Amino acid sequence: MNRRMSSRSVSLTSTFLLLAAGGAAACDNDDDYQDAGFYCADANGTVVDEDYCDDDNDRGGSGIGALPFFIWYSSAYRPGYPVGSRLPAGGNKFAYNDRAARQSFGLPASGKIGNGTVKTSVVGKGGAARGSSKSSGG
């Protein structure tokens, strides 16, 4: 009887280990969830006042020197980049008024997004949102 229980125990332990290994492998892909920081910036990745990315505001999208504004995002972007600073290379962007892209990241569909906003459970490792363009930012 002891022998039978240890055989069952080994079988259950093996099954558990196989399931755990499969789960770990499934989590190790390019669609992992991660944190991402969001900033209002011009087409060159220079941080601007967040009012420029507020499509509920008359200033939104008007552009300084005819530059359009975007919401830039990356897991490398953390709070603390002041207005006028250049965001690190490797970020992605989408139009400030792209409602679908905003919502896909869990951001409000319209309105102001504070510079340095960090959202968790964002899908993708640097992947661009629908309708966005990938840019080096540097």
CA gap 67, 76 in Å, rounded: 24
**Same domain assignment for residues 20 and 40:** no
For the full predicted model, state whether its pTM sits above 0.75.
no
| Confidence at residue 36, expressed as pLDDT on a 0 to 100 scale | 87
**Same domain assignment for residues 19 and 37:** no
CA gap 15, 12 in Å, rounded: 5
| Domain count within the chain | 2
11-28 burial string, b = 16+ CB within 10 Å, else e?
eeeeeeeeeeeeeeeeee
**Same domain assignment for residues 81 and 105:** yes
**Same domain assignment for residues 18 and 73:** no
How large is the C-alpha radius of gyration of the chain? 22
Q: What string of DSSP letters covers 39-97? A: EEEETTSBB--GGGG-TTSTTTT--GGG--EEEEEETT--TT--TTPBPPTT-EEEETT
**Same domain assignment for residues 23 and 43:** no
| Confidence at residue 42, expressed as pLDDT on a 0 to 100 scale | 94
The more confidently predicted of residues 93 and 121 is 93
**Same domain assignment for residues 83 and 95:** yes
The token pair at 62 is: 């008007």
| Confidence at residue 125, expressed as pLDDT on a 0 to 100 scale | 40
**Same domain assignment for residues 57 and 96:** yes
**Same domain assignment for residues 130 and 83:** yes
Res. 3 pLDDT band, cuts 50 70 90: low
**Same domain assignment for residues 76 and 102:** yes
pLDDT tens string 35-85: 889 999 999 999 999 999 987 755 544 545 556 899 999 988 989 999 999
Structural domain boundaries enclosing 128: 33-134
**Same domain assignment for residues 24 and 83:** no
Question: How long is the chain?
Answer: 138
Tell me the β-bridge partners of 119. 36
**Same domain assignment for residues 57 and 95:** yes
**Same domain assignment for residues 59 and 102:** yes
